[in-house]
A and B are shown apart, each in its own frame.
Chain A
Amino acid sequence: MLEVKDIYKEYDGLPLLNGLSFEVAQGELVCLLGPSGSGKSTMLRIIAGLEEPASGRIFWDGQNITALPAHQRGFGLMFQDYALFPHKTVKENVAFGLRMAQRPKEEIDQIVRQSLGSIRMLSFADRPVTELSGGEQQRVALARALAPDPRLLMLDEPLGALDHNLRTELLNDLRQSLRASQKPVIYVTHDQEEAFALADRLLLLHEGRLLQKGSPEEVFRQPANAWVASFLGLGNLIPASRSENGQIRTEVGALALPYPETFQIGEQFSLLLRPEDAHIAFQEQEKALNITAQVLDCVFFRDYYRLEVKTKGQSLFVHAKQVFQPGEEVMLHWQEEDILCFPN
């Protein structure tokens, strides 16, 4: 089991990692999700032993491995650009880790054959890796990382270099290979679709801090703060404050919800209004935020129309079942139980 404790790292005098701590359990697939520059790749490189933390420790099964050189850690790492050795063939690339471990030749041959067979690339064994397509390179890189049977597998944006169509296609393959390997996996990505499709647990990283840990469903249902909600594109975030009667007030309308006790009086906060939770009706609803708005735009998506509406200077997105014309007035409401409050 991997334990990361209180890792700090600076880059060019600026803090890059600000006290990161987390664990990865046996067989668990953890996704490190965050925008570029959030420090996720650096975290991965520190675990791999390619960079040193300014402070903090890394443990494997209770043993401190912070100072252990990369080549003695027995971890696997797949790079975003795959870093396949351009002067070696497909077979030689996959065999590299096994050769470094000084396995007998017959065993290496057998493992390589098996590994290439499982990714349907046995016929490519003697090709130079430079002749492979992006998707093929990705599969070889994964096979190379897995061949020496690492204790932990790390992947740095493994689908980042591929175009969108190929990515969706390979995502499923990747999910199956990673599940089948039964290894603990740390998967770094900025793409929430990938993270949600793969992860047992998500770690949301922003400016070198972990903002939230939890299963994809937990994170989706209960984002920890406005930044998470906005990064995941969960919906409309509108500023809110406390009204005189101790309830919540927003620029678009008042809400009969009591002011959350955890917030201080006068503190600004945000409400999350998810587009898919919006109801379009003809009368005001009880226990809901009621809004009258004007349609600015209506775009057809596969199973809904996305309306952009405007009310009191705020622009909101909502999903509708039927088409509306720009300029039309609509009445919208969000049920109280669907609305989330975050401190700013």
Chain B
Amino acid sequence: MATADLAEADSDIYLPLRFGDPGALELAYNRYGGLAYGLSLRIVSDTGDAEEVVQEVFLRIWKSPYSFDPSRGSFRTWLLTLIRNRSIDRLRARHRMPAGAELPVHLEDHSTHSDPWQTLALGLERDAVRKGLDTLPVEQREAIEMAFLSGYTHTEIAERLGLPLGTVKGRLRLGLEKLHGFFATTGLVTR
């Protein structure tokens, strides 16, 4: 996807947000609130915690709209990265685990769909991601999910699975590379 397209995605949200328009926040919530809440709930497994994460992130977006840089990618990926990171923070705090590094914010994705196509497009993307995950060997998928959704570091994953650290690193790398190959055939990734 062209950089200009990335910059335009969700510009109906982030531009008026910069001018303090609450309607833009409502639009963001209507468009991505369900996805954000679903992601947080999947990670923290608690409706109250998930709601608090969603509220915290949406208010951060409201109060600091310039923290999103459209030249680096899409608004949706930025939002979901914030949701994932705050959810992991909450999960690790609950289990008294030391904080790990946050997910680096890499924003590129392909959410240029207008509202009428939003649901359909998201459904197609979801199917593609799930099919990609289904192609992975169980041990690679397990390692990726432990990292991304459970917030374990690669060291903690190795300890929990009783595996050498190098094996875990290898599974994570091989799994992501394989997903990249699959996603490339579906247009989910461009590089």
**Are A and B genuine complex partners?**
no
